[in-house]
Structure 1
């Protein structure tokens, strides 16, 4: 399967380029929308929680630090969410293409992964400019961000491929996953500092792989700190289990995908 994907690598790259280009079509701002939408959401969160609710990080009273904390977390979460949401419907959205053109079906999730990665890099560059304006220039710890990107992409791709396959056979999966993602967001320290949740939720935080992955961004971008490698063992283990499982499930379900669609 991987050998076939390598043979279609130029098709995947061209599809990613074509998809990004189509988003710019007939738009005056073009690629800026990739940046403006997630940044607007993050700024709303930071303004509402810091100004209206009076939220602050425990170790600082600076409004700028809290905004950077939220923007960092939202960048990581937005990357995960985009891959998940698009992978969830990737096969149903491209049903007509799959019926007419012969190509490895696994190319579709990889195209989603590629375009989401480009979008995420643009968001990070825009965030870094905003951080510099807020008096928070780049530091050496920011070099750890590619590690966070790889882990988040691997986890999101694995889960997204699995739920995308199940969504072909039952459209209820899309609705269920949408609800679970909303709950997942609020169980991850993005809009609030770590340790804010009641003690009864501690076990949920300990089993949530996104807690340590989001923390990579928050620690690097805000505190100029490298992550503790021990905290990355859980998301790495989950990814290493889910990724082969996703490929195995796809291989078993692939012959029936087009017929069901």
Structure 2
């Protein structure tokens, strides 16, 4: 499969380009919509928390501290949630393509991952501009950001491919995943800090595997501190294992998926 990916690399790149172009072909604002939606959500949360509730963020002296914190967490969460959500329905939505064209099926999730990564890079650039406008400039620790994005993409792609395969055979999976993602959003410290939780509750929240990843985004973008490497180590290992499992399951189920679809 890896050799097939390399052989079809130009097909993958052109498909990513076409996917992005088609999504915004008839839109006046074009690619700006890739960043308007998440930034609008951040603005709403920041307004409610910072202005209405007068919430303060420990460790950072900035009037717009919560807006910075929210944008950092939203960057990682958007990449994860968007990749998983698109991969879950990927094979069902691509049924006609899989039946009528002869190409390595593994190209489909790679195209999806590449598209979401490009969108996330645009969002990152927009966030940097907003940071500068608010008077906040990330420090040297921001150089860890590409690695964090790679970890996020690997974890979300592997999980999304597995769920996408299951969704082909049991369509309820596609209905359940959005609900779980919504719950995961509130169980992850994006709009709040773990420090405000009671110790007993915090212990349960620590079971969320996304917490060290999202906290690492916030560390490097807002607090200029290193990522949570102690917790990220096992997450990287788990992501690699999940990716290998997804490849094995995909290879075995690929032909049967076409028949079911």
Instruction: Bin the TM-score by the shorter chain.
Output: over 0.9
The answer to whether the Cα contact below 8 Å between 2:138 and 2:222 also exists between their aligned partners in 1 is no
1:158 aligned to 2:158? yes
Counterparts of residues 33-72 of structure 1 (less than 5 Å): 33-60=33-60, 62-72=62-72
Note the C-alpha offset of 1:61.
Answer: 6.4
Query: Which residue of 2 is the match for residue 208 of structure 1?
Result: 208
Query: Which residue of 1 is the match for residue 2 of structure 2?
Result: 2
- Gaps (5+ residues) in structure 1? none
Query: Which residue of 2 is the match for residue 117 of structure 1?
Result: 117
Between the two proteins, the alignment pairs up a number of residues equal to 261
- Gaps (5+ residues) in structure 2? none
Q: Which whole-Å CA distance do the structure 1 matches of 2:231 and 2:194 have between them?
A: 14
Q: Which whole-Å CA distance do the structure 2 matches of 1:39 and 1:153 have between them?
A: 20
| Stretch deviating more after TM superposition (192-201 or 151-160) | 192-201
Query: Which residue of 1 is the match for residue 136 of structure 2?
Result: 136
1:220 aligned to 2:236? no
Note the C-alpha offset of 1:43.
Answer: 1.2
Q: Which whole-Å CA distance do the structure 2 matches of 1:138 and 1:228 have between them?
A: 17
Query: Which residue of 2 is the match for residue 186 of structure 1?
Result: 186
What TM-score, normalized by structure 2, do the two folds share?
A: 0.95
The answer to whether the Cα contact below 8 Å between 1:56 and 1:62 also exists between their aligned partners in 2 is no
The answer to whether the Cα contact below 8 Å between 2:140 and 2:224 also exists between their aligned partners in 1 is yes
1:177 aligned to 2:177? yes
User: What's the secondary structure of 2:184's corresponding residue?
Assistant: helix
Q: Which whole-Å CA distance do the structure 2 matches of 1:177 and 1:183 have between them?
A: 10
Query: Which residue of 1 is the match for residue 236 of structure 2?
Result: 236
The answer to whether the Cα contact below 8 Å between 2:158 and 2:243 also exists between their aligned partners in 1 is yes
**What is the RMSD computed on CA atoms of the aligned residues?**
1.4
The answer to whether the Cα contact below 8 Å between 2:213 and 2:228 also exists between their aligned partners in 1 is no
